[in-house]
Chain A
């Protein structure tokens, strides 16, 4: 069963420059919530940003990883207000 650290490491290794914060949403090891910040997201729609992250896990989404809830952002969009 993947841990939040596994998920974080795999996202950061697969998407150049990505920073991920991952939590185990239910404590059960199969529902995760991730906030991913990456310059690779720039110029891409939300759908494309989420697809990039989902692609890291392929068929595991819906399988071993029942749910991966995502919030994606580009470094420039980190709120400064």
Chain B
């Protein structure tokens, strides 16, 4: 279904996901996470010494709305690598513990 309606926020999110190898959409910032789930996800990435881009979804509710529409994933945080959704806090933590996360971020 083609849509000609412009959606700058959605376009900006898609572009950010494409342009950054590893990008985390979170509540707050890596330095000051505003939610325990975001904090835990940042900790896993930092434990692996992975450079990542971070986007704070809190300043504008439309970021979260459009992100979830793109990813078909309802919660924050959301980690993407190489354009693909890796998962939220539960999956990232599980993959970190099993060693799969390091592989997925290579």
Binding site for B on A (CB under 8 A): 46-47, 50-51, 54, 61-62, 67-71
Contacts and interface: CB of A to CB of B under 8 A. Distances in A.
B94 A62 contact: no
Interface string B81-97: 00001111111001100
B72 interface: yes
Contacts of B94: 46, 71
A17 B58 CA distance: 38
Main secondary structure of the interface of B (DSSP, over half): mixed
Contacts of B37: 67, 69
A51 B95 CA distance: 17
Nearest to B89: A69
B74 interface: yes
Given A46-B87, A47-B86, A47-B91, 14 more contacts: A46-B91, A46-B94, A47-B73, A50-B88, A51-B72, A54-B73, A54-B74, A61-B75, A62-B74, A62-B75, A69-B89, A69-B90, A70-B90, A71-B94
Contact of B90 (A50, A51, A62): A50
A47 B90 CA distance: 10
B91 A50 contact: yes
Which 6 A-B residue pairings sit nearest by Cβ, starting from the closest?
Answer: A61-B74, A46-B91, A70-B90, A54-B74, A69-B90, A62-B74
Nearest to B84: A47
Nearest to A51: B72
Nearest to B37: A67
Interface in B53-104: 72-75, 85-91, 94-95
